[in-house]
Amino acid sequence: MNSESNAPGPRAGTVILGAGLTGLSCAVHLDDAPYRLIERSDGVGGLARTHRRPHGFLCDGTGHWLHLRQDWTKALVRRLLGDSLTARARRARVFSQGVYTEYPFQANTYGLPKEVIEACLTGFIKARYEEQRPEPTNYAEWVRKEFGEGISTHFMFPYNRKIYGVPLETLAADFAAKYIPRPSLEDVVRGAIGRSREALGYNATFVYPTHGGIGALSEALHANAKRRAEFHRTPQRIDLSTRSLRLDGGEEVPFGDLVSTIPLPTLVELLVAGCPTSVPSMVVDAARRLRANTVLYFDIALKGAPKANQDHHWIYVPEPEFPFYRVGSYSAVEPSLAPPGHRSYYVEIGHENDHIEPSRLEQPVLDGLKKLGIVERDEDVLFMIPNVLSPAYVLFDDAYADARRTILDWLETERVISVGRYGRWQYNAMEDALLEGREAAERILARTRSPSA
């Protein structure tokens, strides 16, 4: 289908689907080139959006903390948010065996029962120096080879099972290696005797706005874009043979370039709806094989300031008796997100699919928060608002790499740029979204300046 008829009309600009950080970054970096930014919801930001809740609380879409590594993104975010951006040192904990320990678990077992520390320490030493395990073929094997039996049993297996909602044997070996701190033997030993040296992992410090939550970043990007996003607009079909898409309401929108940040399987569905014969069956099959989990999270508002020992930014909760894998506090990171004398939390629950009944989970969540010492009395709870993220975490199973590549390679030949967390069907962070949006814009600008490219 990559034929002459696909050539964009002289005036057809770019259509960007989705006004999350990727779509917004693309819009901002298209400079004066014409585009339309199509968004199905009523605001910008996607996952990086801040919601106004009752009583003056502001809640993000679970914790959204900025871990910026590249000078370019640091400068961009600083330019957009100015003095409102401040650095924070992570205050993260793990709750298991009835006690709070430092994060990451694997390098901070001090405080746990002695037999747990012993199992973690000996398991780690055996995994590193004694056992000759074969090359891991799945995530469970990777975890066991990397951390040993004790750390796997007491943290890695139960925690990861809860977040992804699927057996770890069904996930690829090292898909999460980039995000999991891998301590040295010295770190593990020091952490077992209470002498940890420094915070480990990619998120030991982060930056966050002092006003408006993470949504302030999305709003600032939008304010810097040449054209406004169009809200409550959803494409019904996309026809590559005419290079146009139909929006709900019937409007036909021609496009030269199409930048899609909506979930990859949805994009393929829209392309099939537009012109079934234009989409190869192997692409349709591949889209059916892509899987992601669902995250249900509750925004919870409580009366009263946090107690001195309860000011953690977030807490990892591996044990199966708790329905959630993590609890974070918006107001512990940024007090202005809650009215004075109050505090706010998000509680995250992973699920294999989106068949979830939030009302069934309310009481178990409250019971869990009481065990953690976060909620004392029911009457302190001002609200508990359920939200569903679906897709949330892409599942890196056996089908993943091949299916994703099949679709993305084909889209490339059709001059469709699919980017962003769900556009490329990947695990990424806000910094990546900003970068990918810019790269998409640069590709389009390069093509416009040199049409033969």
Ligand X SMILES: Cc1cc2nc3c(=O)[nH]c(=O)nc-3n(C[C@H](O)[C@H](O)[C@H](O)COP(=O)(O)OP(=O)(O)OC[C@H]3O[C@@H](n4cnc5c(N)ncnc54)[C@H](O)[C@@H]3O)c2cc1C
List contacts with ligand X (CB under 6 A). 17-23, 38-41, 46-48, 62-67, 234-235, 261-262, 266, 295, 389, 392, 420-422, 428-433
Helix (H) or strand (E) holding 213: none
Determine the length of the chain. Answer: 453
Minimum distance from CB of 194 to ligand X (Å)? 28
Sort residue 301 into left (φ over 0), alpha (ψ -120 to 50) or beta: beta
**Sign of the CA dihedral with 15 first, then 18, 20, and 22 last:** negative
Minimum distance from CB of 197 to ligand X (Å)? 25
Q: What is the rounded CA–CA span in Å between residue 416 and residue 15? A: 10
Query: Six-digit token pair at 6?
Result: 């696909």
**Backbone torsions φ then ψ of 5, nearest 5 degrees:** -60, -20
Minimum distance from CB of 164 to ligand X (Å)? 12
Minimum distance from CB of 392 to ligand X (Å)? 5
Could you give the dihedral angle defined by the CA atoms of residues 112, 116, 120 and 126, in that order, rounded to the nearest 10 degrees?
Answer: 150
Minimum distance from CB of 171 to ligand X (Å)? 17
- Of 151 and 408, the one with the shorter C-beta distance to ligand X is 408
The answer to whether the beta carbons of residues 16 and 36 sit under 8 Å apart is yes
- Of 121 and 419, the one with the shorter C-beta distance to ligand X is 419
Sort residue 213 into left (φ over 0), alpha (ψ -120 to 50) or beta: left
**Given the structure tokens 């977040």, which residue do they identify?**
163
- Of 17 and 140, the one with the shorter C-beta distance to ligand X is 17
Parallel, antiparallel, or unpaired for β 314-316 and 92-96?
parallel
Q: What is the rounded CA–CA span in Å between residue 324 and residue 304? A: 23
Parallel, antiparallel, or unpaired for β 342-351 and 294-303?
antiparallel
Minimum distance from CB of 391 to ligand X (Å)? 8
- Of 245 and 403, the one with the shorter C-beta distance to ligand X is 245
Minimum distance from CB of 216 to ligand X (Å)? 14
Minimum distance from CB of 427 to ligand X (Å)? 8
Query: Six-digit token pair at 137?
Result: 């073929």
- Of 146 and 348, the one with the shorter C-beta distance to ligand X is 348
- Of 127 and 283, the one with the shorter C-beta distance to ligand X is 283
- Of 151 and 214, the one with the shorter C-beta distance to ligand X is 214
Q: What is the DSSP letter of 82?
A: G
**391: cis peptide before it, omega within 30°?**
yes
- Of 396 and 422, the one with the shorter C-beta distance to ligand X is 422
